[in-house]
Structure 1
Amino acid sequence: MNIKELDTPSLVIDQEIMIANIQRMQDYAEKYQVHLRSHTKTHKMPVLAKLQEKAGANGITVAKVGEAEVMAENGLNDIFVANQIVGESKLNRIKKLAETIHISFGVDSIEQCEMIEKVFTKQQPAQVLIEIEVGENRSGVIDESDYVRLVNYIKNSPFINLKGVFSHDGHTYKAKDLEECRRLYNEAQKRTLHFAHLAHEQGVELETVSIGSTPPLLHDFGVMEGITELRAGTYILMDVSQANALGSYSSCAASVLTTVISKPTNERIITDVGAKGLTMQSRSEGICATVGIGYIKNSNHVHIDQVFDEHAIIYDEPFRNNVIIGDKVEIIPNHICPVSNLYDNAYLVSGDDVVDEIPILCRGKLQ
């Protein structure tokens, strides 16, 4: 099948670009002799997770227990849930998974650990990593005193095993230039390593010191001694945001194929994908800043100006004059991760040929 024969909207992935992206990040990890634990929330496809492991990844990262369950059902057996797992229902699901695979998850409070102790046992302790807040202003331990108390609480609990620490330097997306991106990344590494050293001072030796976000790893900023693992995700498919940080759209493997359905004015074009197939996300500042709500692939700076539920609106007179109703164009999304969650399947393409249809089995697994 030719790509233009696909019905629209469809999520398509360029096979050669994706494989090159996988190998590039694997090579980066191997250069600095650290593990790569790819974050699969970007694509939500066990097939792609297996490709990442085949290339050398030492396991995968997921965001939710439901994603871990699907990945485990499909043969992935070393999984880290990079999130705080709270509530007996979810913890019992983690415990069940631990019977057949290696699974760990994030913590950042004693209150959460008290919940864990109600579910796990001495014979089957929970495997956890403490999240360190490094500047994103999201979850994670901030104060050293809170961290030391948490480390000692876990150290004295027979029901929990502390494997390591992890952080996410997502604030690097907003860096004003690459030098600031480097500075923020290095500060995040140093802070993560500092907290790892604090655990050592409490008599706890950590197996894993994990960091990760895609923008700094697109550039050779290096990996500091003591870091053991990278947890990048978006690198496999890329998007407008990440491409802007890189300075090129050539590594964007994913796009949404859409059909021109209306040209109601001399400059307005309508296509058949809207917020339900593209998302309305954008980034307003920094090296990942975006224009509009998606970029028309291989165009002369043509972007989606507006979306409704089922319509994308473009205002560009030259582009309008170069397409006819029925033409199919590709949109590179601003942020690929939520887009993957909007489709049942993705189509793998090589050139103009569709070579495979891949089910997005973790779609909707938000619990």
Structure 2
Amino acid sequence: MKVKDLDTPSLIINRDIMMDNIQFMQSFADKHNVALRPHTKTHKMPALAKLQVEAGAKGITVAKVGEAEVMAENGLNDIFIANQVVGEIKLNRIKKLAETIDISFGVDNIEQIEVIEKVFSDSDKPAQVLIEIEVGENRSGVIEEHDYIELVKYILNCSHVNLKGIFSHDGNTYKAKDVEHCRELYNYAQTRTLHFARLAEDLGCKLETVSIGSTPPFMFGFDVMAGVTELRVGTYILMDVSQGNAIGTYDRCAATVLTTVISKPTSERVITDVGAKGLTMQSRSEGICATTGVGTLKHYDQVHISQMYDEHAIIYNEKFRNEVKIGDKVEVIPNHICPVCNLYDVAYLVSGDEVVETVPVLARGKLQ
């Protein structure tokens, strides 16, 4: 099948660019002698996760227990859930997964550990946990040293919980003012994470894993500090407008949404058949990853989607309007690829003008 023969909207992935992205990040990790554990919430496809592992990744990262279950069902056997898993329902599902695969997950408070200890009390294996360290994103994770020390001590006294390591996410690098500011934020995140690793060592706990990650610093090739053992990077495999803006090119953007021009009601307005239900309304308003509009047209200079409704993309550009005809199919590079993949049942891998493979998005909708 030719790409032009696909119905729309469709999620398409340039296989050649994607494979180059996979090798690029794996080579970066190998160069710095650290493990790569890609975050598969970006694509939610076991088939792509396997390509990352085959290229050398140690294992994979997911965001939710449901994603872990899908990945495990499809042959991925070393999984980290980079999130606080709370509640007996989810913990029992993890305990079941632990019978057949290596699985670990995030924690950041003693209340959470109390329930984990209870749930895993009848398990042959202790729960494998990593403490999240807050490093500037202002999201989840331990902030104060005394809280961290108390948490480490509490885990060390548990019979059914093992402290495997710590992890952090420097998501604030997306809002860096420029490349040097990005480096500054990233280095602070590394330094802070390593400081907390040393605090654990002072308590007699040598951590197996010290994990860091967000895409921008590694696309810039920033150094990895001694003591870091693992990189968790997600968006790099497909990239998007925000990441392309950070590095100054869309050449690494592998994923696009194919959409059809369905109306040209004015001299400058164009309507296509993908809206928020196929592209999301997400945008970034500041920093190196700032975006214009809610999607960028590939192969057209500075043409952006101005606004979206549920099923319609609205583009205001007279030159573009005069270049396209009703029925033409165009490609949109999403501002943020991660939520877009979650909107499709399948992705089409393409090479040139040919569709070479249809890949099911098996972890789509696995939010629990």
TM-score, length-scaled by structure 1 = 1.00
Aligned 1:78-93 pairs, distance under 5 A: 78-93=78-93
Query: Corresponding residue for 1:13?
Result: 13
Mapped to 2, the partners of 1:81 and 1:300 lie a distance apart of 39
What's the CA shift for 1:118?
A: 1.3
1:335 counterpart = 2:336:
yes
What's the CA shift for 1:220?
A: 1.4
Deviations 1:305-362 (A, max 9, x none): 0000000000000000000000000000000000000000000000010000000000
1:218 counterpart = 2:248:
no
Mapped to 1, the partners of 2:326 and 2:124 lie a distance apart of 65
Matched residue of 2:200: which SS?
helix
Aligned 1:62-77 pairs, distance under 5 A: 62-77=62-77
Query: Corresponding residue for 1:150?
Result: 151
Query: Corresponding residue for 1:32?
Result: 32
What's the CA shift for 1:132?
A: 0.1
Deviations 1:166-193 (A, max 9, x none): 0000000000000000000000000000
Mapped to 2, the partners of 1:205 and 1:357 lie a distance apart of 44
Which amino acid is 2:220 matched to? H
Mapped to 1, the partners of 2:277 and 2:124 lie a distance apart of 46
Aligned 1:175-186 pairs, distance under 5 A: 175-186=176-187
What's the CA shift for 1:298?
A: 1.3
Query: Corresponding residue for 2:326?
Result: 325
What's the CA shift for 1:226?
A: 0.1
Listed as ranges, the gaps of 5+ residues in structure 1 are: none
Matched residue of 2:120: which SS?
coil
Which amino acid is 2:211 matched to? S
Mapped to 2, the partners of 1:331 and 1:124 lie a distance apart of 47
Query: Corresponding residue for 2:272?
Result: 271
1:360 counterpart = 2:361:
yes
Mapped to 2, the partners of 1:179 and 1:73 lie a distance apart of 42
Mapped to 1, the partners of 2:124 and 2:269 lie a distance apart of 65
Mapped to 1, the partners of 2:4 and 2:114 lie a distance apart of 55
Mapped to 1, the partners of 2:246 and 2:98 lie a distance apart of 38
What's the CA shift for 1:123?
A: 3.1
Which amino acid is 1:3 matched to? V
What's the CA shift for 1:130?
A: 0.2
Query: Corresponding residue for 1:105?
Result: 105
Moved over 4 A (4+): none
Query: Corresponding residue for 1:204?
Result: 205
Count of matched residue positions in the alignment of Structure 1 and Structure 2:
367
Mapped to 2, the partners of 1:228 and 1:293 lie a distance apart of 36
Which amino acid is 2:28 matched to? Y
Query: Corresponding residue for 2:52?
Result: 52
Matched residue of 1:166: which SS?
strand
What's the CA shift for 1:211?
A: 0.1
Mapped to 2, the partners of 1:198 and 1:158 lie a distance apart of 21
Matched residue of 1:38: which SS?
coil
1:43 counterpart = 2:43:
yes
Root mean square deviation of aligned Cα: 0.5
Q: Which stretch shows the higher mean deviation, 177-186 or 118-127?
A: 118-127
Which amino acid is 2:289 matched to? C
Deviations 1:251-302 (A, max 9, x none): 0000000000000000000000000000000000000000000000011100
Query: Corresponding residue for 1:124?
Result: 125
TM-score, length-scaled by structure 2 = 0.99
Which amino acid is 2:88 matched to? E
Query: Corresponding residue for 2:175?
Result: 174
Query: Corresponding residue for 1:291?
Result: 292
Mapped to 2, the partners of 1:31 and 1:222 lie a distance apart of 10
What's the CA shift for 1:57?
A: 0.1
Which amino acid is 1:102 matched to? D
